[in-house]
Structure formats: structure tokens, C-alpha cells
């Protein structure tokens, strides 16, 4: 149900193997899209970012700002002064085009599908309004490696879960540094999640977007998805050997295409165009080897993922376990590839619910393991964004 172990290559090896990434929108060959999430203090940060962008990057920019639902927004007028690119308020069905800026309207939730912006009324949905997460998650599905997610100044944690989806889909993630952010809540939440590739000022983020936007991995995501480069088999195998010697993990059982996409993602961030050059970087730079290793083991999990599985546990598996155990014997569960812990906690909750319904209270022990020490640390903390789905 989770996947951060090479024993499950079909599911874990990057989010290109997740259900969200299985769709193939007709517009996949269209331009890369930069989603920008912001809240309190974000207007100044967005203005600085846009002001540093040239008008011909070949990418589209979509701003998801937390807006007062009862007051007209003046973002279009204000931001039009910061950039020579056309700035417009989004409408339902509007197709995103390169070198243009799109603004979310007030009192709406906006997503993207097939290269078109989809709007629906915000409504009175239960829980907090999380427009950044909603857009980022749809962006990950629609653009894969052509998705770029940016979090700027704001309070709360909106955007963190969406950025995790973007990174899992092979996109690039950036966040404003805490020093330059007027309100560091949103960028801080994203940075602490471990899913951010680049932390910088708004101006620095703009420069990074321009640089990575020229790389074929970002500019032509359809080519990367359907035909990952295979022109340097020796370099590819060398990279696998470096990972094996450094971490004791053999990734040769993973899908080659998945591993190549994760390598390409790191090559973009390291300004390298061929595998041989990148392999030389890995030889010299242990921190980059660690970054690639963590990229390959990127967590794809959530609370109660695949709900039908948990229902089957309650109906068939848990009753069978109790039949064969003495009343005073503990119930022990092992979760391999636990990622950031959501599955382990979900299993514990499901078992407790089942036992409570039957009036039983044996001791429970849940063991969880993972190849990634970084993910295990987060699992041990058991701390998740306030908007985590349960």
C-alpha cells in the first residue's frame, strides 16, 4: 500500500507508476506549467518573482492565492505592473498558453486537466479551504515532469501535500526561504516535509525556473515519459553501481524507465545534460548520491490508501488472527516499506476499531521498516500537515 522499498518496483519506483500518473491527457506535449501558491505576504513575493522572469520562458504561470471570497480581487491589475507577460483572471475551460500568467478567481477551487483550467465554486465544504493543494495535485497529474510547484509566503500548510504529488510525478518543487518570507508557515511546512528541491528568495526562484525550464526534461515532458534517454547504457549502469556501493540497495530490479526519469530529474537540478557527466558528479558528491537515492525512494502513500484493503482486513484477516491467538497473546504487525508512516498508523487504527467493536483489548505491537532513514524519521515523529487526508 505504500512504496519505498525496491521489493515493490511496480508501485514504488516513482509516481509515474501511481494511478494519478496513468492518465495520458491529450495536451501532455503542451508547455510546462508553473503553479505558484501563496497566502499572507504573498503578493510582494509574487511581484518580485514575476519581475525577474523574462517574457519568453515558454512556460505558463498559474497563481493560486488565498483570496477573500467576498471581495473582488485586484491581483490582475497589480501584477500586470510587475511583468510584461499578459496577466488574466482564469475562467472555466481556459487553455493555458506559454508566456502568460493566470490568476485564480475569488471564491473558487481551480484545477487543471488536459491543459485547461477547471473552476468550481468554493462552496461550504467541510474543513479548511485548500486551493493550492487542489491545484498542485491536478498539475502533477496533468503535466508530470512538466509540473513546477512554487510555495511563497503564507500561513498554514496549504500546498505541502500538493508539492509532494508534484515531486512524486517527476516535477520540480521550490519554496521561498524563511528569511525573505513575511509569513513563513507555508514554505516552512513544505521544506520540513522533505519534498522541496530548491529553497531561495523569490528572485532566486525566478532564476532557477528560467534555468530548468530550458531543459528537455521540463520543456518536453511527453518525450521524457514515453521515451526516456537510453543513449548511455554504461553511464546508467555506473550510476546504479554507485548507489549499490553507497547504500547497499540494488535498483536493477526497478523499471529502467522509472529510474531514468528520477536520474533525469536530478540532472536538471545539477545542470547536467548527459549521464556520464552526472555519474562523475555522483562519484565526488556524497550529498548528491543521497539526494538521488531519496528521489528513487520517494514516498507514495497516504492514510487509508486503498480503502477496500482495510475493509478486507476487518472482515477476513483480523478475525482469522484472533481465532488462532490465545486471549493474552499480543497481536504483532509488520509494515515493510512504511514510508512516512501513514500505512502503519492506518493499520493500527483499523485494528483498534475492529477490536473495540468486538469488546476485545489485547496488546498491539506495530513494527514498521523502510530503506530510507529520512522517511523513517518522519514516520517516528508521526507529525503530518493539518490538512492531511484521513
Give me the active site residues, please.
39, 66, 158
Q: Within the chain, how many helices (H) and strands (E) appear? A: 17, 11
Specify the 3-state DSSP secondary structure of 111: strand
Q: Among positive and negative, which fits the CA dihedral 309, 314, 319, 324?
A: positive
Q: Which three cell numbers stand for residue 22?
A: 496513468
Dihedral pair phi/psi, residue 185, rounded to 5°: -55, -55
Q: Looking up cell 547504500, which residue turns up?
A: 247
Contacts of 381 (CB under 8 A, 6+ apart): none
Query: For residues 356 and 37, what is the distance between their CA atoms, to the nearest angstrom?
Result: 42
Dihedral pair phi/psi, residue 243, rounded to 5°: -65, -40
DSSP state letter for 104: P
Query: For residues 318 and 331, what is the distance between their CA atoms, to the nearest angstrom?
Result: 10
Contact present, 194 and 119 (Cβ < 8 Å):
no
Amino acid at each position: 500500500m505504500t512504496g519505498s522499498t525496491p521489493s515493490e518496483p511496480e508501485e514504488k519506483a516513482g509516481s509515474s507508476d501511481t494511478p494519478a500518473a496513468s492518465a495520458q491527457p491529450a495536451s501532455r506535449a503542451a508547455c510546462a506549467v508553473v503553479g505558484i501558491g501563496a497566502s499572507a505576504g504573498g503578493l510582494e513575493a509574487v511581484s518580485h518573482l514575476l519581475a525577474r522572469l523574462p517574457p519568453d520562458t515558454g512556460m505558463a504561470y498559474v497563481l493560486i492565492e488565498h483570496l477573500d471570497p467576498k471581495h473582488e480581487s485586484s491581483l490582475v491589475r497589480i501584477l500586470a505592473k510587475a511583468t510584461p507577460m499578459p496577466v488574466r483572471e482564469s475562467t472555466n475551460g481556459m487553455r493555458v498558453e506559454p508566456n502568460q500568467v493566470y490568476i485564480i478567481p475569488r471564491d473558487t477551487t481551480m484545477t487543471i486537466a488536459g491543459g485547461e483550467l477547471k473552476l468550481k465554486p468554493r462552496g461550504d465544504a467541510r474543513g479548511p479551504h485548500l486551493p493550492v493543494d487542489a491545484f498542485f495535485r491536478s498539475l502533477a497529474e496533468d503535466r508530470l515532469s512538466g509540473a513546477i510547484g512554487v510555495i511563497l509566503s503564507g500561513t498554514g500548510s496549504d500546498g505541502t501535500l500538493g508539492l509532494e504529488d508534484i515531486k512524486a510525478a517527476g516535477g520540480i518543487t521550490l519554496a521561498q526561504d524563511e528569511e525573505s518570507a513575511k509569513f513563513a508557515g507555508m514554505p516552512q511546512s513544505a521544506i520540513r516535509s522533505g519534498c522541496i528541491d530548491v529553497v531561495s528568495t523569490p528572485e532566486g526562484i525566478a532564476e532557477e525556473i528560467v534555468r530548468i525550464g530550458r531543459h528537455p526534461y521540463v520543456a518536453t515532458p511527453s518525450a521524457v515519459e514515453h521515451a526516456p534517454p537510453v543513449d548511455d547504457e554504461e553511464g546508467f549502469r555506473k550510476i546504479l553501481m554507485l548507489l549499490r556501493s553507497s547504500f547497499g540497495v540494488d535498483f536493477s530490479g526497478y523499471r529502467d524507465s522509472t529510474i531514468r526519469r528520477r536520474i533525469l530529474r536530478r540532472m536538471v537540478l545539477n545542470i547536467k545534460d548527459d549521464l556520464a557527466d552526472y555519474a562523475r558528479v555522483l562519484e565526488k558528491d556524497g550529498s548528491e548520491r543521497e539526494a538521488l537515492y531519496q528521489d528513487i525512494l520517494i514516498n507514495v502513500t497516504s492514510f487509508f490508501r486503498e480503502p477496500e484493503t482495510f475493509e478486507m482486513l476487518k472482515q477476513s484477516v483480523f478475525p482469522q488472527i484472533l481465532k488462532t491467538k490465545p486471549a493474552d497473546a499480543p497481536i504483532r504487525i509488520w509494515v515493510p516499506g512504511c514510508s512516512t508512516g501513514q500505512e502503519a498508523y492506518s493499520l493500527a487504527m483499523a485494528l483498534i476499531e475492529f477490536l473495540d467493536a468486538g469488546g476485545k483489548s489485547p496488546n498491539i505491537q506495530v513494527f514498521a521498516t523502510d530503506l530510507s532513514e529520512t522517511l523513517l524519521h518522519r514516520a517516528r515523529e508521526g507529525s503530518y500537515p493539518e490538512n492531511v487526508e484521513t
